[in-house]
Amino acid sequence: MTTLKHSILSLTIGLFSAMFIGGCAADAAGVDEKTTAEAVSESGNAKKGDYGYEMKDLRLVSGEAVPAADAVTPDGRVAPEEVMRQANAKIPALRACYAEALKKDPGLGGKVIVRMHVEKDGSVSSSRVSGGSIGDAALGSCLAKELGSMTLPAATKGSLEVFYPIELNPSDLASSAPSGA
Query: Is 41 within 8 Å of 163 (Cβ atoms)?
Result: no
* Angle, helices 91-104/80-89, rounded to nearest 10 degrees: 50
What is the pLDDT tens value at each position of the chain, 181 positions in all? 555 444 444 433 443 333 333 333 333 333 233 333 333 444 444 456 689 999 999 999 866 777 788 999 999 999 999 999 999 999 999 999 999 999 999 999 999 999 999 999 999 999 999 999 998 999 999 999 999 999 999 999 999 999 999 999 999 887 655 444 4
Residue 130 · residue 144 · CB < 8 Å: no
Distance of alpha carbon 167 from alpha carbon 61, whole angstroms: 10
DSSP H helical segments within the chain, as ranges?
Answer: 2-28, 80-89, 91-104, 137-148, 170-174
Per-residue CA distances from 159 to 16, 44, 114, 144 (Å): 41, 14, 17, 18
pTM: 0.71
